A and B are shown apart, each in its own frame.
Chain A
């Protein structure tokens, strides 16, 4: 009997391979890397979860696919008051919510109540959903929304007014982030009456281009096109996320056509992908930076000359070549070149060990200087191998009389200790959230230089701080750009960081995929994508 079974199995296997049934429906399979925690972006912090919720939902304003540009979405237009403290959104009319998901049939179209509900859930403790599914709204809080918001008011069914305590230019970009997702107030009521509010975050109902069908943890998420989508029905009929944690397996599936788009390829596979005629290897500089922070609170790094000498002592080109292997470009400024206000006139410090040595001597640094060099214990998109980078830096530094001791901790511990300022020098990086330069510059601001803050150079320069604070309150892009360009001049002169690299993000897709765009934010979006 068992032998018979094995035979049947083998035969069946051959059959399925040879004669897969032909389907007319267009189904795109995306090989993702992990399971979402739930489908409510406001509750989450991981890209995996955001990607899973994105087909189902919309925000008031959104990033144009493949760019960092903010465009209208559920809000058709907006006006900012003269003092910059009031933003009034005109909402789109005739937007429908998904029907039939979890037994829910909407009786009305999207309106201001949904906007209020979506933000009040995160903001107001008395909202009935505030505590549902753990009730931690990390992004809403970390973006400083509770301090920034004075009120959110419904002017009429299709007008919502946000009143701020102070003008804030990045506000629109913030609202385009995933925590600004607009969910259905009516669906929330429906589940509350049924006594199952926690389903709100597990079985999503939105206005987005795809309607949720089913989710099996660790296996698959299914969506189908929403025919009444306000932007027009998606070209794809079905969208499937095949959860595949191993990068090698993802690549194998892509090659075999078991999925059409995969995320995060192994850097080692990039060359083979370039050579593969069935694969389109898309790429774009990532919205990120890897850097080595020099702790200004620890001598001799309180001296500008020492920091400058440090910048000249390390061979950056060698790091880019050896560690990034073509998947990165040397970083000069504290922001990536894909973001507006990047100052192209700034020159990087040259690699000049002789001059570095001389400068250290002039600065009165005793030879040899003992420092520690912290390296992150994990791979990040902006830094594929922190240890290797640290080793290369160590050998470069030795040549100018600096003895660097390599130090690392468990990831959580590492960040905590660095934020406390225990290191003398240490590697870290940042990936942008919203395409606004402020999202990078705040990492070097004075408030973040406090113990426990995210300014890891513990560098507080009054002139720099004044510039970025002023820029934050102005809504005119040209004016802000000027201020940020000046700030970058100060940054380079003062050299609180050794800027390492901006990584290049690769996204392999199959050649039959049409119009897939790489997102600078590392998002994966499928509305507007088609299959040949």
Chain B
């Protein structure tokens, strides 16, 4: 177990180095220049352009910039945003709670609906329910996030008037300072009546939109894994013993069927964070996804680099945890590890 853990951790080091290099180069391959992007349409004199570029160190050879960057990272310095002049790490830290809160809610939504849907589809294999679940899952998986989000806003917010359109809070009626950065907690801490409800209401639509793809994946995975387990001998034995179908499926089969599902849930972290970029933009959700989009349009190299590194770091970390967790709940892996 320990050996496996160390090996996995060791593997992440070269991954990070490669990531560092690729993001650094890729960010610079994006056409456009941060100075030009910043000064908008105004034509500025070539001398001033050169001076600005010098101030930002962009006149240095690329390899030198890279070494400086690596050196900074080694000291925990992710650079300073060209646009806002604040440290990238600080910006990330203030925005990440919003993304985390949304991602957790989206994942909860996906798990709570996805696992039962998969189980039912497996049990009723080949029937109408099975076909409907799989069709809906496929539709959910292939739905463009942007379109799905706008569709929900139109129907749920505008037509039915059930949910707020966007943002994290009702700005007209409530005001409080962020404490933890998690709106659900901060709204409770504020002590303002109704604030928590408003925070929950604002979370519903973006969570559904962001959770749709993971929901589809989890449902499909649960179904196929469940089908496999249901054909195992011990399930047949349990049935033969005369246990109720609910106990057979719920107690015996599900426990084992969920093992691969855990891995899939872990893999969905990447999907969630990638989806957050679009979801946050549609719902004006002030998280890292929206921040990245803005950094791209402003060619804010340090913010872009740092943001991608930090988000990738989170994905790698979560996958590492899932790997270890997987071994912990599935004893069969241990011998091979």
Interface residues of A (CB under 8 A from B): 2-3, 6, 8-9, 12-17, 19-21, 23, 27, 29, 34-35, 37-38, 45-46, 133-136, 138-139, 141-142, 198, 213-214, 216-220, 222, 240, 242-246, 248-249, 252-253, 255-256, 258, 380, 409-413, 415-416, 419, 430-431, 452-454
- Whether the Cβ atoms of A248 and B167 lie closer than 8 Å is no
Residues of the A chain whose Cβ atoms lie less than 8 Å from the Cβ of B44:
138, 141-142
- Tell me, in angstroms, the Cα distance from A20 to B164 when the chains sit together: 12
B291 to chain A: closest CB distance in Å? 6
B204: which of A9, A138, A249 is its contact (CB, 8 Å)? A9
- Whether the Cβ atoms of A256 and B283 lie closer than 8 Å is no
Interface residues of B (CB under 8 A from A): 31-33, 36-46, 48, 52, 55, 83-85, 91, 94-95, 98, 108, 112, 150, 153-154, 157-158, 161-173, 175, 177-178, 193-194, 196-198, 200-201, 203-204, 281-284, 286-287, 290-291, 293-294
Offer 9 A-B interface pairs, CB within 8 angstroms, sorted by A.
Answer: A14-B162, A16-B170, A16-B198, A20-B173, A134-B55, A213-B175, A220-B171, A246-B281, A411-B32
Residues of the B chain whose Cβ atoms lie less than 8 Å from the Cβ of A20:
170, 172-173, 194
Residues of the B chain whose Cβ atoms lie less than 8 Å from the Cβ of A3:
112
Residue ID in chain B nearest A455 by CB atoms: B43
- Tell me, in angstroms, the Cα distance from A50 to B259 when the chains sit together: 54
Residues of the B chain whose Cβ atoms lie less than 8 Å from the Cβ of A8:
200
Residues of the B chain whose Cβ atoms lie less than 8 Å from the Cβ of A198:
85
With contacts A19-B194, A141-B44, A412-B36 known, is A13 near B171, CB below 8 A?
no
- Whether the Cβ atoms of B164 and A218 lie closer than 8 Å is no
- Tell me, in angstroms, the Cα distance from A508 to B332 when the chains sit together: 63
- Tell me, in angstroms, the Cα distance from A18 to B197 when the chains sit together: 11
- Whether the Cβ atoms of A13 and B168 lie closer than 8 Å is no
With contacts A37-B84, A136-B52, A246-B281 known, is A219 near B168, CB below 8 A?
yes
- Tell me, in angstroms, the Cα distance from A213 to B171 when the chains sit together: 13
Residues of the A chain whose Cβ atoms lie less than 8 Å from the Cβ of B108:
2
Residues of the A chain whose Cβ atoms lie less than 8 Å from the Cβ of B150:
248-249
Residues of the A chain whose Cβ atoms lie less than 8 Å from the Cβ of B98:
219
- Tell me, in angstroms, the Cα distance from A220 to B176 when the chains sit together: 12
Contacts beyond the supplied A20-B194, A256-B158, A452-B46: 20 A-B pairs with Cβ under 8 Å: A9-B203, A12-B200, A13-B197, A29-B171, A34-B294, A139-B42, A216-B286, A219-B168, A220-B169, A242-B284, A243-B284, A244-B166, A244-B167, A246-B282, A248-B150, A248-B282, A249-B153, A412-B37, A415-B43, A416-B36
- Whether the Cβ atoms of B290 and A245 lie closer than 8 Å is yes
- Whether the Cβ atoms of B194 and A245 lie closer than 8 Å is no
- Whether the Cβ atoms of B197 and A12 lie closer than 8 Å is yes
With contacts A245-B290, A252-B154 known, is A16 near B167, CB below 8 A?
no
B130 to chain A: closest CB distance in Å? 23
- Whether the Cβ atoms of A218 and B290 lie closer than 8 Å is yes
Residues of the B chain whose Cβ atoms lie less than 8 Å from the Cβ of A38:
84-85
B166: which of A17, A213, A217, A252 is its contact (CB, 8 Å)? A252
- Whether the Cβ atoms of A217 and B52 lie closer than 8 Å is no
- Tell me, in angstroms, the Cα distance from A445 to B44 when the chains sit together: 16
- Tell me, in angstroms, the Cα distance from A181 to B199 when the chains sit together: 37
- Chain A CB count within 10 A is highest, among B40, B46, B178, for B40
- Whether the Cβ atoms of A255 and B290 lie closer than 8 Å is no
With contacts A12-B197, A218-B286, A253-B165 known, is A412 near B172, CB below 8 A?
no
Residues of the B chain whose Cβ atoms lie less than 8 Å from the Cβ of A19:
194
- Tell me, in angstroms, the Cα distance from A249 to B209 when the chains sit together: 14
Residue ID in chain B nearest A453 by CB atoms: B43
With contacts A6-B112, A256-B165 known, is A138 near B201, CB below 8 A?
no
- Whether the Cβ atoms of A412 and B33 lie closer than 8 Å is yes
B165: which of A2, A141, A249, A419 is its contact (CB, 8 Å)? A249
Residues of the A chain whose Cβ atoms lie less than 8 Å from the Cβ of B177:
214
8 nearest A-B residue pairs (beta carbon): A12-B197, A412-B36, A218-B286, A219-B286, A410-B31, A13-B201, A244-B284, A252-B165
Residues of the A chain whose Cβ atoms lie less than 8 Å from the Cβ of B38:
45
With contacts A17-B161, A141-B48, A412-B36 known, is A217 near B284, CB below 8 A?
no
Residue ID in chain A nearest B167 by CB atoms: A242
